[in-house]
Structure 1
Amino acid sequence: MTSYKYIFVNTQPAHVIQSDEEALSIAKALSQQFREDAVHRDQTRTLPFAEIDAFSQSGLWAITVPKQYGGAEVSSWTVAQIIALFSGTDGSIGQIPQNHFYALEVLRTTGTEAQKKKLYQEVLDGRRFGNALAEFKSKTASQKNTYLTPYQHGYLIQGEKFYCTGSIYAHRIPTLVKDDNGLEYLAFVPRDAEGVTVIDDWSGFGQRLTGSGTVKFDQVYVDAEDIVPFSTVFSKPSLVGPYAQLMHASIEVGIARASFEETLIQVENARPWIDAEIEYATQDPLTLYELGQIAVDVKASELLLNKAAHFIDFIKTKVTKENIAEASIHVARVRAHSTETALQAASKLIELAGSRGSQRKTGLDRYWRNARVHTLHDPVRWKYYFLGNYRLNHILPPRRGTL
């Protein structure tokens, strides 16, 4: 267990991406670079500080900044494709910017003009946001015990968070806090503020490099201008919930597709099963049948992701209760499907690779471990419940970040 006082790697301004096409081009090249040492990083749990710095310096962490503030404001489909690309290369790296983009969407929804100008510019310059939303020691997931109290020209934060994905690598840690009246806020706490302690105690068997451990706040001062309302994010219709879930689905689609592509490579190099009476494993009819099933499921998840992303963009300027409910249903469909597809594809990778696929040096197990840990984020059984209740009884799903 290590406590980090983060030293920012790069102080130079980041590249500013101008379009969806440029963003995708950079993402394809950079994700391939990250592939080279992915197995080593996972097996040795080498935290990817240099990779994350290169990731944000490339401009990819600023692609959702609105055009009026100097960003590319790329489509939700472009964001989904980019997260899927990096997740296929390294599931941890694909997940790390998810909460960064989530915080930017909260800022877009409830932030003031002054807050947007300030924080968007920081992101354009290359600053990264982590997260301190969830708590591990409360009785229920919805119960929060991290509070802020007025102090001088701002507030003091006291509390402890867990599952703080990306905070080890962050310049600011958006932190969910409550005031004495029970109202919630998202405080964009500077990572190097006095009283902030980031502890690397994440021990998940998958997504090992996300840094999803503990952050402690001991009377941490934060300026009033760095706090945005959060209570209203889900009390009224907004895209925050569907957008968050779209990114989670992208992680799973990326892992599923990469698992399938790796399976093709492994089958080409596998020995045929003796009873098949064939010369090459690629001729095995039962293997071909399994590959066909996975190919269909992976493509279906990709298409569902595409449809959900385009629907979110379609209603971006038409936010209503009904539209947000429909968007939530779109992303629930892909999350339900991508959860099962990622787990199945990753499992079949090892099965069809044969005994050789179980060898630790191949690192094939990381796909399943990453998929299994990430898909625990929201139980897929509840996705199906809300989908069924919506279709049969016309009951709108809840407006939360979990659907």
Structure 2
Amino acid sequence: MSQLSSAVNSHNIHAHRANHVPLQVFEQSENAHVIQTDAEAIQVAKQLASEFAKEASLRDKERRLPLNEIQQYSQSGLWAITIPKAFGGAQVKYRTLAEVVKTISSVDSSLGQLPQNHWAFLEHLRLDASLEQQRFFFDLVLKGIRFGNAFSEKGSKTVADLTTTIHKTATGYEVNGQKFFATGALLAHWIPIVAINESGQPYAALVPRETEGVQIINDWSGFGQRTTASGTVELKKVAVREEYVVPIHQAFDRPTAAGAISQFIQAAVDAGIARGAIEETIQYVKKYSRPWIDSGLERATDDPYTIASIGDLKIKLRAAEAVLDLAADQIDLAIDEPTEEHVSQATLLVAEAKVLTTEVAILAANKLFELSGTRSTLSELNLDRHWRNARTHTLHDPVRWKYHIVGNYYLNGVKPPRHPWS
């Protein structure tokens, strides 16, 4: 174990790009803590954020995967907070989930993104899995097991055109295909794979990460969200037990909050990025920025234009987070009462929140440099990570179509589409 511990502490970019992840990242000496309340979830997130902040810039700079941090994160119990009370979870409100995501993302948005699809998939288990499957997988997550992501593909006509297939065999099922944008798969215990059957219906096939035929490749080279390992998963004749297959297409055959939840978590990550960028700006201006030569002022913090810009950022962030909270409340209602109207309202509010969180994240990351000055661009400070992360993560599901969804509903009475990208 001492050699494994040493490997975790001395990991480097070359090892990661070769997909070497020490086994200790997946081992558990004890079960995860089980969070009981919303207040506890928020407190735990704040405590973790203070730890995760310490080397966040260095991890980004070195493309160093958060191996120790992800273990702390899942062992804290936060990855299980949306599990229903009936199965032993805290079943927190979605306002609480948003606050957790924002808190972590404000210090390290890669860590903020890593459980994104894990939480989204927990909702699919609640909606589409059998009682036996729910008991089995919810129990695993409560113990600290992490789900990865093998959903999206690249190169197809649209994001919904999947080529990964699942077909029945004499002993269960078999999956074949290739995935990309597989955030978290490299560091997951189990990987939910979305594949289509002969009729084109999507199913989720859950497999342990070490399953034969599964190859996870850390080839994510994005300039932002560098340590999410959002690369490739190759699937060649992957055998799947029948009891590990979930008909997730059912979540979109009827009104459910599944799609809104997927988008909601992404918007929360963006709000967290904005939080972090604004705080970085405030601290830099206080400590290092100089007053402009023509201002006649002693301190940059007395500059009326700087003061107004900080006020503008704070107001825009407050507005974005307020709409995100409204979306959270509507998601809670849509879960309790999944009517067409409740689900549509949840989708609309999430779309509005996604627009506002995208705009404030990018604006805050830009203003950081404008208000801090030229020295803030020095590479050793790595402040550009805020802009790189904002620009990268906000590319998920274009906000120009969010305007369309909202406008088409109020102008023409057209309900939002049912899928994970609306």
Using the size of structure 1 for normalisation, the TM-score is 0.98
CA distance in 1, matches of 2:373, 2:233: 42
The Cα of 1:14 is off from its aligned counterpart by 0.8
Matches within 5 A, 1:377-388: 377-388=396-407
For structure 1, which segment, 116-125 or 177-186, has the greater mean C-alpha deviation from structure 2 after superposition?
Answer: 177-186
Share of identical aligned residues, percent? 44
Q: Which residue is equivalent to 1:189?
A: 207
Q: Which residue is equivalent to 1:7?
A: 23
The Cα of 1:322 is off from its aligned counterpart by 1.4
CA distance in 1, matches of 2:335, 2:347: 13
Q: Which residue is equivalent to 2:394?
A: 375
Q: Deviations over 1:25-68 (max 9, x none)?
A: 11100111000000100000100011001100111111111111
Matches within 5 A, 1:209-220: 209-220=227-238
Q: Which residue is equivalent to 1:326?
A: 345
Residue 286 of structure 2 corresponds to residue 286 of structure 1:
no
Residue 270 of structure 2 corresponds to residue 252 of structure 1:
yes
2:42 to 24, 35, 59: 24
The Cα of 1:130 is off from its aligned counterpart by 0.6
Secondary structure of the equivalent of 2:176?
strand
CA distance in 1, matches of 2:405, 2:157: 24
Q: Relative to structure 1, is the Cα distance of residues 220 and 8 closer, same or farther in structure 2, using a 3 angstrom cutoff?
A: farther
Q: Deviations over 1:198-247 (max 9, x none)?
A: 00000000000111000011111111111100222212111101111111
Q: Deviations over 1:121-169 (max 9, x none)?
A: 0001110001111111323322111111222331111110000001011
Q: Which residue is equivalent to 2:79?
A: 61
Using the size of structure 2 for normalisation, the TM-score is 0.93
Secondary structure of the equivalent of 1:231?
helix
Maintained 8 Å contact 2:152/2:182: yes
The Cα of 1:6 is off from its aligned counterpart by 6.5
What is the number of residues matched between the two proteins? 403
Secondary structure of the equivalent of 1:276?
coil
Residue 340 of structure 2 corresponds to residue 340 of structure 1:
no
CA distance in 2, matches of 1:3, 1:219: 21
Q: Relative to structure 1, is the Cα distance of residues 3 and 33 closer, same or farther in structure 2, using a 3 angstrom cutoff?
A: closer
Q: Relative to structure 1, is the Cα distance of residues 365 and 5 closer, same or farther in structure 2, using a 3 angstrom cutoff?
A: closer
- Moved segments of 4+, more than 3 Å: 3-6
CA distance in 2, matches of 1:379, 1:400: 14
Q: Which residue is equivalent to 2:113?
A: 95
**Which amino acid counterpart does residue 37 of structure 1 have in structure 2?**
E
2:317 to 290, 298, 307: 298
CA distance in 1, matches of 2:31, 2:206: 20
The Cα of 1:315 is off from its aligned counterpart by 2.7
Q: CA RMSD in A?
A: 1.2
Secondary structure of the equivalent of 1:221?
strand
Maintained 8 Å contact 1:23/1:60: yes
Maintained 8 Å contact 2:35/2:78: yes
CA distance in 2, matches of 1:8, 1:181: 41
Maintained 8 Å contact 1:351/1:357: no
For structure 1, which segment, 290-299 or 109-118, has the greater mean C-alpha deviation from structure 2 after superposition?
Answer: 290-299
Matches within 5 A, 1:89-128: 89-128=107-146
**Which amino acid counterpart does residue 2 of structure 1 have in structure 2?**
A
CA distance in 2, matches of 1:357, 1:308: 35
CA distance in 2, matches of 1:142, 1:175: 14
**Which amino acid counterpart does residue 34 of structure 2 have in structure 1?**
V
For structure 1, which segment, 59-68 or 133-142, has the greater mean C-alpha deviation from structure 2 after superposition?
Answer: 133-142
Secondary structure of the equivalent of 1:315?
helix
Maintained 8 Å contact 1:177/1:187: yes
**Which amino acid counterpart does residue 377 of structure 2 have in structure 1?**
S
